[in-house]
Chains A and B, each alone.
Chain A
């Protein structure tokens, strides 16, 4: 590097003063780039990561893609996901006797004729008060049934307002979009 003489550095310093003034002067006359929040809202929020939402199946928008594996609840470091699962006994089709062996809910002793248990998602409860938005649940989900919402203007007055039932939200959203 060539060392500058004091004269050179002084001239350069003086020049930089005018460059600085030109930069701020230019920005002064340019249009604003901020959003006046309560009056305007931003619209380019695709990259915003809000709380999670369930993704509906493509062919049936009232059911979620979720396969009830519970990996999201296990992965969550804040324990804010809770799956409410209802079991329904269905008559086994005569041929298919095989049970999914990973099913640990099969504890109670049963009488001889084995019945198949169908697990149905009653509710997907997210306690957003505890969520740290780490995104582990979205990453863990094997069937991509979780996504981030884009509501950056979420606000409420009580803790209870931030305990969401995601299944219900998903259905409401579909109903709203299909009716409106």
Chain B
């Protein structure tokens, strides 16, 4: 039997990604609750295991053990396919991210495009989830998710495009290679505006607070996943955290020098930067109140989009000069 070595490589990478996502889901749930606790001057989880480290495991076991319930009037096919559709693209997204000089699932010339294209599937999943639940809260959540994601995808793409123009490539490894080990050699120095726009849009794309309107627990119960229970909800939850990691990884690759770093370059620098970004995202969540819907769209159409266009134009001028 003759199996292509690339196939084995991809299979191993997918298995590693699955483990990475699962482990990170647990770690991030714990981290989020700990940070939230400390910001509010309370301990956060501390009963289950040392420092509450086993709390997410207990939560996961609870979620797995719960009964899956579907509302009688909900559309069974769409209802059950939505959480799967939300979670499965995540594997593809991690495949092209260069974690280290050689630690990459698949060298792919259109890596950036692949990530942007498949992360767009999440919107469809949220839309289907809210629509098929036959629940007014879910439907409202889905409508918000669609409006928000479509709006914020444009400046996000424009910000990313500026980097792509600068280096003339969509290959993530090449973009990392163009940056140096020292912080002033990273793209964030040449493209600070693009980084800020990318970061804001990325937080909005992942429906994180202060842009968590599709969930908006104080207005819409739980938004698009109101009707989901057990692991169906768990998949949405895991996907949300996976997308946070993805956007942090892409930000690290595009703006923060990827696996480059002072001293020894390697995946540790990459992970360090990714977790620092995730910490900032968690910090934002526990600082800002939720924006109103009109504010959300105003920020995008009146500020981020024009700024992203100006940034792109400036990049073009500098590249051509």
Contact = CB atoms under 8 A, between A and B. Distances in A.
A28 B43 contact: no
B35 interface: yes
Interface string A6-24: 0000000000010011011
Contact of B42 (A20, A29, A34): A34
B39 A24 contact: yes
B2 interface: no
A98 B45 CA distance: 70
Interface residues of B, number: 13
Given A17-B288, A20-B288, A28-B35, A34 B41 contact: yes
A4 interface: no
Interface string B260-288: 00000000000000000000000110111
B67 interface: no
Q: Chain A's interface: helix, strand, loop or mixed, by majority?
A: helix
A27 B36 CA distance: 10
Nearest to B288: A20
A12 B214 CA distance: 28
A33 B287 contact: no
Contacts of A31: 41
B291 to A, nearest CB: 11
Interface string B33-72: 0010011111100100000000000000000000000000
Given A21-B283, A36-B46, A27 B41 contact: yes
Nearest to A22: B287
Nearest to A34: B42
Contacts of A21: 283-284, 287
Interface in B2-58: 35, 38-43, 46
A33 B41 CA distance: 6
Interface residues of A, number: 15
Interface in A77-131: none
B294 to A, nearest CB: 15
A32 B41 contact: yes
Contact of B40 (A20, A25, A27): A27
A31 B283 CA distance: 17
Interface in B265-321: 283-284, 286-288
B288 to A, nearest CB: 6
B35 A34 contact: no
Nearest to A20: B287
B46 to A, nearest CB: 7
Contact of B39 (A17, A28, A33, A36): A28
A25 B283 CA distance: 8
A36 B42 CA distance: 9
Contact of B43 (A17, A27, A32): A32
A28 B38 contact: yes
Nearest to B40: A27
Nearest to B38: A28
A32 B46 contact: no
Given A20-B287, A25-B283, A36-B46, 16 more contacts: A21-B287, A23-B287, A24-B39, A24-B287, A27-B39, A27-B41, A28-B35, A28-B39, A28-B283, A29-B38, A30-B41, A32-B41, A32-B42, A32-B43, A34-B42, A34-B43
Interface of B: 35, 38-43, 46, 283-284, 286-288
17 contacts: A20-B288, A21-B283, A21-B284, A24-B287, A25-B283, A27-B38, A27-B41, A28-B283, A29-B38, A30-B41, A32-B38, A32-B41, A33-B42, A34-B41, A34-B42, A34-B43, A36-B43
- In the A-B complex, the 9 residue pairs with the smallest Cβ-Cβ separation, listed nearest first, are A24-B287, A34-B42, A33-B41, A20-B287, A24-B39, A28-B39, A28-B38, A32-B41, A27-B39
Interface of A: 17, 20-21, 23-25, 27-34, 36
